[in-house]
A and B are shown apart, each in its own frame.
Chain A
Amino acid sequence: MIFRALAIVCSVAIVPFAAQAETGKVTTFELDNGLKGIVIEDHRAPIVTNMVWYNVGSADEPPGMTGVAHFLEHLMFKGTDTLKPGEFSKTVKENGGVDNAFTSYDYTGYFQRVAVDRLPLMMQLEADRMRNLVLTEDEVITERNVVLEERNSRIESDPRSLFQEQRRAMTFMNHPYRNPVIGWRHEIEALNLDDAIAFYRTYYAPNNATLVVAGDVTPEQVKALAQEHFGPLEPSDNIPPRVRPQEPPHLSAVRLSFSDPRQSQPYLVRSYLAPKRQSGNQDEAAALTILSYLLGGSGLSSVLGQKLQLDQQLAVYTDAWYDSTSYDPETFGIYAMPRPGVSLEQLEAAMDTVLADFLKDGVDMEHLKRLKTQIAAEDIYELDNQSDVARTYGRAITAGLTVEDVQSWSKTLQSVTPEQVMEAAAKVLDMRKSVTGLMLTPTEEPAQ
């Protein structure tokens, strides 16, 4: 639970063609104005998930204006030329639907889940706010206070989140991934109507968006509806090229420690800069994904869990994660929480030994086989969650991947060899590219 907030576990997604009747079938289209469409069929119930993903996230924000992408996400629920403030969600509700939105480093997404006969209305609403948002000064100020309270709830009230923010800022020296998605508090406080509208006008347009529709629909139906509602929208001709400042070579291991009177549970987190999934060439990312499953995952069967929790009994929890799906390179990470009486210094030394032994001894073939069995089963289990499949596609597309990349991912994972895992491990587990964070208890001395 604790580290799940830190560890973004990559959800593997592959939808087999035809074999499962039509449920699970994925097709794509593109409108003349540049809007991309992805249709994921699920005919078990007459329900649909309608999502619009914009290729813009917090890493695309202008310097000094952190939080504006997320702030705009909130403001997208205000009015348009034809819709009163707040009417969007109320209309969805009156049609028996649920809706929400989310912002991350690389994307901003909006979704509704409704009965399939209400899909045209949902598309009409999304198309409307893609180009016709209207904001007033009062709304913007009030909503800014809501966002500051959200920051209070998510970050300021949780020492682990505060520490994560500090660690990320040290992980990326130059890339805007160093800034929190919700924004730094002093910069949120300064955001205004003009900032939000300028950001909106720059990035919200059909040629910067992907419509993902999952549910009891056919590709023909969705394309016709998309044409009707999004087709008339003008594309934008000034979407900036998506080039963010990149990281220079990392040559020096970084260490930082943190303590807070509200946090009495110490832990250790280390992240390493890591390559991402490349469109058309996902082998290395697949190997790193397998590496994260081997090292982390269940404390009872993983390498870190077996050694640190079961054998040496130094840790209460261990984990490993890898952010494979991002527009620019992200991180590979490991986590451990010591048992009472075990110092972070002792735990870190033991963890380093486990990693060194792993690099020397290589992959346990039985372990790899079990992982691949689970990966194959995930192809079946994940069909049960329509919204998750839709999210998998949305995340991939906004990270610069293609539908084909998503569909070949499971197969790529299956074909990973132990040699590929070890090669990727040797490359990524490089202390010079690492940031080691120690959450200290208020009584503990910093480990030097």
Chain B
Amino acid sequence: MIRKFAAVCVMVLIALPAAAQIKIEEVTSEGGIKAWLVNEPSIPFIALQIAFRGGTSLDTPENLGATNLMMGLLEEGTGDMDAAAYRRATESLAANFSFDAGRDSVRISAQVLKSNADEALDLLRKAIVEPAFNAPAIERVRGQVITGLQSALEDPQAIAQKTMSEIAFGDHPYGRPSDGTIESVTALTRDDLVAAHKAALGKDHLVIGVVGDVTAAELGPMLDRLLGALPATGAPLPEKVEFAAPAGVTVVDFPSPQSVAIWAQDSDINMQHPDFMPVYVMNHILGGGGFGSRLTEEVREKRGLTYGVYSYLNWMEATQYYGGSVASGNGTIGQAIDVIRTEWARMAEEGVTEDELEKAKKYLTGSYALRFDGNSRIARILVSSQLDYFPIDYANTRNDRVNAVTVEDISRVAKENLNSDALQFVVVGQPEGVDSTQ
């Protein structure tokens, strides 16, 4: 008949330099649920990370915020247990569950003790598969979400992000507020939440990472019990979209002595792009690496204009762009922006030196192993690797790919990808000498 235990399809030994070997197994349960597992028995607990692709971008204009509110309600009661009873039950088992809704995925994290793992996961199953969405819980969590939305309206960083998203993505789901608006969340009904639950938690979008005191043979049946009853398919993922913000500056008036600025330009580079690694290493040198990166040296260390300045490559399920962020006093933000533009242009023109590249490689390859520190952290990495469509042996080849990058590669990708004239800056504050371009 059917095999009794989960099939282990792939097993990969990751020989991280300066790290113990991490053995990642791909487990497929009898019910067809796949997970990446690291068996680590030295501490008697299990860390699980469960993600479903889609996230809040599955919301429609009519039910903005439904996915986020739905996720906030999963631990707020199931069957005959109300929210308080459910919470007491988790506390009695000393299990830790958390539920989170992001732009591209919803995530469930769990830490359960080996000694009562079956009971704890049964409790988790009820939250995931049979949430009650009862009226008092909906009203209570709605109130908390609205409080968060209210705070975001007063947070310069959040205002900047929201403004940039609207300019760049317009009517695409990425252009809408991830957690909805006060008005939209106020209007959500129980039916919206039930629909969002069905749309967001389809098994076709499921990605799982497990690390801890559990074997592949034990994990398969565990996953079938935990997630088997979920719908086979969820809502389709959003269509691809280009980052379409025009070049220029958008100032949002906000009464604060310091301005927050974020900037971005369109980019073709995502994880699957053959130039991903050269661009990634270039970004580390330009502004991704904190101390030693050009932006930190020029804006913070030489001029004292900021506490923090970063650039980043943001790859998402349906788009990608290249940008950064900085905060500086209203009187100095203009100078900070000028320096950033100059560095952006200088990288495009000059590329990097051998010395800079050598140092970046040493850091990026040497520090990679530090990420694999702790069961819960490794479980998160297993999930994000799958969300990024990496092969299971990615960690084995990643440092070689970093080391293969040359100065010539970076010169080329910097020219192709960086355009200081194309940058859109969103500035939130009362900046002196910085004005909106339209």
Contacts and interface: CB of A to CB of B under 8 A. Distances in A.
Interface of A: 1-2, 20-21, 23, 44-47, 77, 86, 89-90, 93-98, 113-117, 141-150, 152-153, 156-157, 159, 261-265, 298, 300-301, 306, 309-310, 313, 316-317, 337, 339-340, 366, 370-371, 373-374, 376-377, 380-381, 383-386
B328 A149 contact: yes
A45 B43 CA distance: 13
Interface string B288-321: 0111100001001111111110000000000000
Given A261-B255, A317-B147, A46 B113 contact: no
A143 B304 contact: yes
Given A93-B359, A373-B92, A380-B43, 16 more contacts: A45-B20, A47-B19, A89-B291, A89-B292, A93-B289, A114-B366, A115-B18, A115-B366, A143-B304, A149-B306, A157-B256, A157-B258, A157-B260, A264-B154, A380-B44, A381-B45
9 contacts: A143-B304, A144-B304, A149-B258, A157-B257, A262-B255, A264-B150, A373-B91, A377-B94, A381-B45
A269 to B, nearest CB: 16
B113 A150 contact: no
A384 B45 contact: yes
Contacts of B369: 45-47, 96, 115
A20 B305 contact: no
Given A89-B292, A93-B291, A337 B147 contact: yes
Contacts of A262: 154, 254-256
B113 A380 contact: yes
Given A89-B292, A373-B91, A113 B370 contact: yes
Contacts of A77: 291
Contacts of B367: 93, 96-98
Contacts of B304: 141-146, 149
Nearest to B18: A115
B361 to A, nearest CB: 9
B258 A156 contact: yes
Contacts of B32: none
A395 to B, nearest CB: 20
A2 B158 CA distance: 14
Contacts of B111: 381
Contact of A370 (B92, B153, B305, B362): B92
Interface residues of B, number: 72
Nearest to B20: A45
Contact of A94 (B86, B96, B303, B362): B362
B20 A317 contact: no
B44 A310 contact: no
Contacts of A144: 304
B393 to A, nearest CB: 19
Contacts of A21: 42
A366 B84 CA distance: 13
B396 interface: no
A149 B366 contact: no
A162 B138 CA distance: 33
Given A262-B256, A306-B84, A370 B91 contact: yes
A116 B151 CA distance: 43
Given A47-B370, A384-B47, A385-B374, A373 B94 contact: yes
Contacts of B366: 94-97, 114-115
Contacts, number: 192
A1 B258 CA distance: 22
Given A113-B370, A306-B84, A20 B43 contact: yes
Contact of B305 (A113, A145, A377): A145
Nearest to A313: B140
A442 to B, nearest CB: 11
Interface string B340-364: 0000000000000000000100110
A142 B332 CA distance: 13
Contacts of B398: none
Nearest to A371: B91
A156 B83 contact: no
Contacts of A94: 359, 362-363, 366
A96 B362 contact: yes
B238 interface: no
A47 B147 contact: no
Contacts of A152: 257-258, 307, 327, 329
Contacts of A116: 18
B98 to A, nearest CB: 12
A416 to B, nearest CB: 17
A207 B254 CA distance: 49
A96 B365 contact: yes
A366 B88 CA distance: 10
Contacts of B45: 380-381, 384
A14 to B, nearest CB: 14
Given A149-B304, A381-B96, A300 B327 contact: no
Contacts of B18: 46-47, 96, 115-117
Given A20-B43, A115-B18, A141-B304, A300 B147 contact: no
Contacts of B254: 262
A341 to B, nearest CB: 10
Contact of B19 (A1, A46, A97): A46
Nearest to B367: A96
Given A96-B365, A300-B87, A149 B305 contact: yes
B373 interface: yes
Nearest to B292: A90
Contacts of A146: 300, 304, 306-307
Per CB-CB distance, the 6 closest pairs between chain A and chain B, nearest first, are A96-B366, A145-B304, A377-B94, A115-B18, A300-B87, A152-B258
Nearest to A385: B374
B143 interface: yes
Contacts of B373: 45, 47, 113, 386
B363 A153 contact: no
Nearest to B260: A157
Contacts of B47: 384
B40 interface: yes
B362 A95 contact: yes
A377 B17 CA distance: 33
B79 interface: no
Interface string B31-51: 000000000101111010000
Contacts of A114: 366, 370
A113 to B, nearest CB: 5
Given A115-B369, A143-B304, A23 B43 contact: yes
Interface in B20-73: 20, 40, 42-45, 47
B87 A298 contact: yes
A330 B215 CA distance: 46
Nearest to B94: A377
Contacts of A371: 91
Contact of B302 (A142, A298, A383): A142
A301 B327 contact: no
Contacts of A380: 43-45, 113
A320 to B, nearest CB: 16
A19 B93 CA distance: 22
Interface in B118-152: 136, 140, 143-144, 146-148, 150-151
